[in-house]
Amino acid sequence: IDEGGNRLKIVRGGGTFVLPVFQQAEPLSLLSSKLDVSTPEVYTEQGVPVMADGTAIIKIGGSIGEIATAAEQFLGKSKDDREQEAREVLEGHLRSI
C-alpha cells in the first residue's frame, strides 16, 4: 500500500491475472540505458570557459523497494521521457562539478 492508500502489486519475471475493471497493469523495464550528457560552454569564477561531456548508465534497481519507488515516479511516462528527466538531472550535476 503506497502513501495515497492505493494497493500496489509488483510482479517480477512472471505474470499475473488482471481484473480489467478493478486493476490495471503497466510494464516497467529494468534494463539499463546509456545517456550521453553534455553541457554548454560555461565560465568559471575566473572567467575560464569550460565545456564538459560525459556518459552515464542509468538503471532501476532490482529490489522491491527500488522498483516501487521507480513505479511511483516513472509509470505512465515513456522511455524517452524517463531518459530526458535523468539527462536533465545529470547535466545539472555535471555543470555544478
In a domain, 92, yes or no: yes
In a domain, 39, yes or no: yes
Domain that holds residue 49: 33-96
pLDDT of residue 47: 87
In a domain, 41, yes or no: yes
Domains identified in the chain, total number: 1
pLDDT of residue 41: 82
CA distance 86 to 58: 8
pLDDT of residue 84: 92
CA distance 35 to 53: 11
In a domain, 64, yes or no: yes
In a domain, 18, yes or no: no
Output the CA–CA distances (angstroms, integers) from residue 9 to 5, 15, 68, 91, 95, in the order listed. Answer: 13, 11, 9, 34, 39
Output 36 or 7, whichever has higher pLDDT.
Answer: 36
pLDDT of residue 8: 81
pLDDT of residue 7: 79
Mean pLDDT value across residues 65-79 = 87
In a domain, 68, yes or no: yes
Q: Could you report the per-residue pLDDT of 10-63, keeping only the tens digit for each?
A: 888 888 899 999 888 888 888 999 999 888 887 878 888 888 888 999 999 988
pLDDT of residue 32: 92
In a domain, 27, yes or no: no
In a domain, 52, yes or no: yes
